[in-house]
Amino acid sequence: MAGVGQRIKELRKASKLTQQELAEGVVTRSYISQIEKGLIQPSYDTLEKLSNKLGVSVEDFFKEPENKAMLITDWKKYVRFAEGHAESGQYEQAKKIVDNLESAAQEELNDFDLGILNWVHGKLREQTNQFREAMPFYEKSLEHLTEYIDSKELVRSLDSLAYCNLQLNDNQEALRILNHANEVIIRYHLGGLVKTSVLINTGVAHAKLGEYHSAIRLLQEANYLNHAMNVHYKAGHISFILGNCHMQIGDTDAAIEFFRHAIDFYEYSDDIENKAGVITNLGILYTNTGQGSKAAAALSEAILIYEQLRDAHTKHDPAEAERLETRAVNARIELARAFLLLGETAQVQAICDRILNSSQQPYYKADALLYLGNIQFQAARFQAALDHYQDAYRLFLQSGERKKIADLEEHLGNTYFELMEFALSAQFYKKRLETLRTQPAPLVSL
């Protein structure tokens, strides 16, 4: 920790003064506490007043601490403070502490403390969506915690590493890590929030792999644990994923109920962005079930929320504004699909043109081209439809989205048939069958 703060603490204890006694007439006790933790750099005037109370010179504050045992004890405490802040979502406070922890401290800490410290470093990167950057810290944390096989800290690091893999869509690797975490939980009878978190992430992994029934079972167990502990840990997220799973298996009523639970939870907790994400998926569900008007209303609401959040970040955080705009584009492309269902082709055209003229990633442009092709096909303008479908097909082939590739191959087959290019039509129908031989990945983002 910053040397001045540690030296002041050492000299205060040597003088048998409490923080309150040292602070009197100079600063507040809280201020002394923050100085000693290295969170505040005091002014020279403050240092001079403190030195007078301690009977030392200001220069004494800049000498190396003499009591190394006390120093190591404090380093361990600071690691625990950082851990507590990270666990409670107070990331700025956690960052201040780890930034002030001297590199020399790492040579003195034991493996358990280093395991926690590396987990905090990973968490700080994870919460800013730097998932690839977070993973090496979680892996280091696991290396240090290898001997602590029965600890919740080991399971927590496994869970965090798996979560990053899920965010990067490495779902099989995430499931492998989570299975290991579950084995540790069962073997050593671990419980609490870390068990709930592992259940949730395991449920998400199953859902991403299309195993919806097992995902529902795992998430229901996580819900049960929450009720048993009288907590609401990630309750909105659990309801959201359950809604997606029920949507995928065609249980519309249950999906709507879970989506509404998630919306209520996120509204109560003032988590506006995640609320918009659930509303987007509710809109997708309405489109899938032929309820175009409800879909358009829900998706328009989600888009408005994303745009308001984006505008709030445009000046001071362009990267965050761009991320929010991407989420808005995802909702817009779903709104185009809803308008297509309603036959409002002018609205579809306007949305798709906006996406094609933007700098958004090819995935969304492929959807826009697909819907423009559908408009042309419905109007019997088959050559124009073919041009759009071919462009969309090339982009979808890059993405590897098998379900959408298969849909495009069917559209291309139908279009070539209308153009009386029967050999090409048969070729694309055959390609579609080949594409669908393997189980397609789920379309809905989890």
Does pLDDT of 84 surpass 60?
yes
Rounded CA separation 238/254 (Å): 13
| pLDDT band at 436; cut points 50, 70, 90 | confident
- Mean pLDDT value across residues 44-62: 84
Angle of helix 272-288 versus helix 235-248 axis, rounded to 10: 10
Cα torsion at 191, 192, 193, 196 (round to 10°)? 40
| pLDDT band at 446; cut points 50, 70, 90 | very low
Q: What is the pLDDT of residue 106?
A: 64
Q: Which domains does the chain have, with CATH numbers?
A: 361-446 (1.25.40.10)
- Mean pLDDT value across residues 86-111: 81
Rounded CA separation 311/321 (Å): 7
Does pLDDT of 59 surpass 70?
yes
| pLDDT band at 443; cut points 50, 70, 90 | very low
The burial of 189, by beta-carbon neighbours within 10 Å (0-12 exposed, 13-18 middle, 19 or more buried), is given as: exposed
* Mean pLDDT score of the chain: 90
Dump pLDDT digits (tens) for 403-424.
889 999 999 999 999 999 999 9
Does pLDDT of 175 surpass 60?
yes
The answer to whether 406 touches 436, Cβ cutoff 8 Å, is yes
Dump pLDDT digits (tens) for 219-240.
999 999 999 999 999 999 999 9
Structure tokens belonging to residue 249: 């298996």
Dump pLDDT digits (tens) for 360-406.
678 899 999 999 999 999 999 999 999 999 999 999 988 778 888 99
Rounded CA separation 124/120 (Å): 6
Rounded CA separation 131/371 (Å): 33
Residue showing tokens 């819900």 = 223
Report which of 211, 184, 188 is spatially closest to residue 198, judged by C-alpha positions.
184
Rounded CA separation 203/220 (Å): 9
What is the separation, in whole angstroms, between the first and last Cα of the chain?
A: 40
Rounded CA separation 377/41 (Å): 69
| pLDDT band at 3; cut points 50, 70, 90 | low
**DSSP line for 173-197:** HHHHHHHHHHHHHHHHT--SHHHHH
- For 58-67, the CB contacts below 8 A with 24+ separation are 60/7, 60/11, 61/4, 61/7, 61/8, 61/11, 62/3, 62/4, 62/7, 63/7, 64/3, 64/7, 65/3, 65/6, 65/7, 65/10, 66/10, 67/10
Q: What percent of the chain shows pLDDT beyond 90?
A: 68
| pLDDT band at 64; cut points 50, 70, 90 | low
Q: Which residues contact 359 (CB under 8 A, 6 or more apart)?
A: none
| pLDDT band at 1; cut points 50, 70, 90 | very low
Rounded CA separation 222/235 (Å): 9
Does pLDDT of 441 surpass 60?
no
- Mean pLDDT value across residues 249-253: 96
Report which of 299, 283, 301 is spatially closest to residue 291, judged by C-alpha positions.
283
The answer to whether 234 touches 197, Cβ cutoff 8 Å, is yes
Tell which wins on pLDDT, 254 or 45.
Answer: 254
Residue showing tokens 């809109």 = 283
Dump pLDDT digits (tens) for 331-372.
999 999 999 999 999 999 999 999 999 866 788 999 999 999
Rounded CA separation 416/427 (Å): 10
Report which of 374, 364, 363, 361 is spatially closest to residue 410, judged by C-alpha positions.
374
- Mean pLDDT value across residues 29-48: 83
Q: What is the pLDDT of residue 147?
A: 86
Does pLDDT of 319 surpass 80?
yes
Angle of helix 362-378 versus helix 345-356 axis, rounded to 10: 150
The answer to whether 237 touches 197, Cβ cutoff 8 Å, is no
Rounded CA separation 394/409 (Å): 11
Find the range with the poorest average confidence among 48-57, 184-193, 238-247.
48-57
